Chains A and B, each alone.
Chain A
Amino acid sequence: MTDPVDVLIVGAGASGAAVAWSLAETRMRIVCLEQGDWMNPAEYPSAGRDWEARAYSDMSISPNRRNRETDYPVNDANSPISVANFNAVGGSTILYAGHFPRFHPSDFRVKTLDGVADDWPIDYGTLEPFYAENDRMMGVSGLAGDPAYPPKESVMPPVPLGKTGQAIANGFNKLGWHWWPSDTAIATETYDGRDKCINLGACSSGCAQGAKASTDITYWPHAVRAGVEVRTRCRVREITTNGDGMASGVVYFDRDGIELFQPAEVVIVACNGVGTPRLLLNSTSGRFPNGIANTSGLVGKNLMFHPYASIQGIFDEPLDGYRGPGVCIWSQEFYETDLSRDFVRGYTYEINRGRGPVATALTGMFSGRIPFGEGHHEAYRQLFSRIAGMVGICEDLPEEHNTVTLDPELTDGHGIPAPKIDYTLSANSRRMLDHAVARATEVLTAAGAKDVITEAPIGVGGWHLMGTARMGTDPERSVVNEWGRSHDVKNLFIVDGSIFVTSAGVNPTRTIQALALYIADSMKKRLANLFD
């Protein structure tokens, strides 16, 4: 057994880092257990000639392909969308693109507005100050004045429009549709010890420059200086409870594979939409035979991805290609529900700047646009630096049959049962994807594209993992309350994407972190009676 701590955080990713930093000012003893390592930016792919190849191997977004010692396998065979994540200090922010939109006011009120799913127990106004605080900590670049959002400030200027952004913005303008420079977690100026973006173009494999805001270089240095301890290569097997039904700590394996018990007064789970239900379901006891915090039976249910549509145009003139951050501009023309369409809710277009020489070859060869053998080089040059387009990121509504459960056979390197995904694309999502493909094709054609390549849904695109331990005021219909505390176990908190009630049609990280800061703030305000 190790010395007791006041607060034990499981997971050092987007939310674990934010909650640790916020709670550090309490001077409580805080320890974070992380199954991965501290990453060395000098070893990121963009520092090597094989930068594209490594996105298919040790820096793949798929834990099953990556298969690092620090990863756990995921059985996602029964899902048209496979799970993407990363396990390290920084979590999946190591590999995310840095696309950093907020939710909208309507996203918290889908039941009231559209009669689907459930309203959140909190609203945009509740999170607004925490969005702003998180923007300062992460360093958000963007342009104030986006008509798709309530007023919000940006910390730094936006990433360049570039040739690609300009071409596609022209397409949107011809149709009279909304677009705006994306909010990005990419420093366009020197910021908080981080250097500014130099357009490496490999954001999704880790930023060697340190311009992209992964939490290992944003929140964690501040939290560690404030006294938080991060223990890496520590994989938590289960949360334990005492006779009073309170969490007593966790059992984990350290870097040498030794099983240890870490007692704690408060346990905070920050493992996101697959890791969190996996841990809760693995934490069984006489009092909680179906997993801790699971009296509602909803742990692991209502899994939401964001189904993605990819729509890429082929242009006559060279665009930005492999240069520059992948994020560029966005459009929320089709974001809010419109009853004239055949689906509810909506989606965001995120414009992709271009692709590298290897990705160009593979796109062309596998789509039949670049022949094998004779004609390869001529056809390749028709595509190189000329492919650009967008993805449509569709709001996924919660459905109880989309689940994370424990696989009966598959385990990780420590013998801990692995997660199993069962997910079906809804009819609403299918119609939304089709709409996104059709409208994006119009935009790209208006922008001058002569051909369009589409994929919907993107099979490898399970970047966003949400909803599997939802928040709410009704203990029978939710896992945590409106400030992240388990309804069942009053010293157990969840701060990651699993507590989302709905998914919105935007990337979730900025909202995950705002929620983590909000929950930490709620805890600090209730320290005297936290467990009442």
Chain B
Amino acid sequence: MADTIATDNPFTTEEQRTLLALVGALIPPSAEFGTPGADDPVIAADILATARPYHATVASALTQIESAAAKRYDTPYPDLDAATRASIASDLSRSRFAGVGTLVTITAQCYYRDDRVMRSLGMAPRSPYPDGFDIPQGDWSLLEPVRQRGRIYKEV
């Protein structure tokens, strides 16, 4: 995960406010599963840092989102309730607007590598390497009917 340096951040204060309102609406916190929302400060910082190389695309998406909020509700996007914010994001995503897709992708990438989220899924919060994972061999006797059926390739 990239380090965030405040002076490297190309997002304006307004853009950051809209972005946080968006990602918090996409993935809210859950008391049931003990998970933070995507607007959690640690996750949000990761999202901002990861989005940095895609600033133009992301900023364009944020503009679209604010426009949709203004047009439909005459209200700044961050001031809308969570359900309405999620609905706007969902509509724009379905319209295949590329910038929203990029934002959703970045949000998922950062959210699902957070230690707390991984633990809630039963995952160890670590990289796959070097410890790897165990996979059962499975029941190789399942091959018996395939063997009994015999050759299926075509002789030439």
Contacts and interface: CB of A to CB of B under 8 A. Distances in A.
Interface of A: 44, 46-53, 56-57, 104-106, 108-109, 112-113, 123-124, 143, 145, 147-150, 160-163, 165-166, 169-170, 172-173, 176, 178-181, 198-202, 208-209, 320, 322-324, 332-333, 335-336, 356-358, 360-362, 365-366, 371-374, 376-377, 381, 384
A73 B83 CA distance: 41
Contacts of B143: 143, 169, 180-181
Contacts of B156: 105-106, 108-109, 112-113, 123-124
9 contacts: A49-B113, A50-B113, A56-B109, A106-B154, A147-B152, A176-B149, A200-B132, A356-B112, A362-B104
Given A323-B135, A365-B26, 7 more contacts: A50-B113, A198-B130, A209-B132, A335-B152, A336-B154, A357-B117, A361-B112
Nearest to B33: A377
> Would you list the 9 A-B pairs with minimal beta carbon distance, nearest first?
A161-B138, A198-B132, A373-B86, A323-B133, A361-B108, A357-B112, A53-B109, A208-B129, A200-B128
Interface residues on B, range: 35 or more
Given A179-B146, A198-B133, A201-B133, A113 B154 contact: yes
A358 B109 contact: yes
Of B25, B142, B149, B155, chain A has the most CB atoms within 10 Å of the CB of: B142
Nearest to B53: A57
A46 B127 contact: yes
A481 to B, nearest CB: 22
Contacts of B129: 44, 46-47, 198, 200, 208-209
A377 B32 contact: yes
B147 interface: yes
A97 B131 CA distance: 20
B154 A160 contact: no
A148 B156 CA distance: 13
A453 to B, nearest CB: 16
Nearest to B133: A323
Contacts of B1: 49-50
Contact of A372 (B32, B89, B112): B89
Contacts of A108: 156
Contacts of B53: 57
Contacts of A150: 153
Nearest to B54: A57
B50 A166 contact: no
Contacts of A361: 108, 111-112
Given A163-B138, A357-B118, A373-B26, A178 B128 contact: no
A227 B78 CA distance: 64
A508 to B, nearest CB: 18
B128 A202 contact: yes
A145 B147 contact: yes
Nearest to A55: B109
Interface in B91-132: 93, 101, 104-105, 108-113, 117-118, 121, 123, 125-132
A376 B131 CA distance: 30
Given A46-B129, A105-B155, A323-B133, A372 B86 contact: yes
A278 B131 CA distance: 42
Contacts of B90: 371-373
Contacts of A50: 1, 109, 113
A160 B135 contact: yes
A323 B152 contact: no
A200 B133 contact: yes
A481 B44 CA distance: 59
Contact of B146 (A170, A180, A200, A373): A180
Given A365-B108, A372-B25, A53 B50 contact: yes
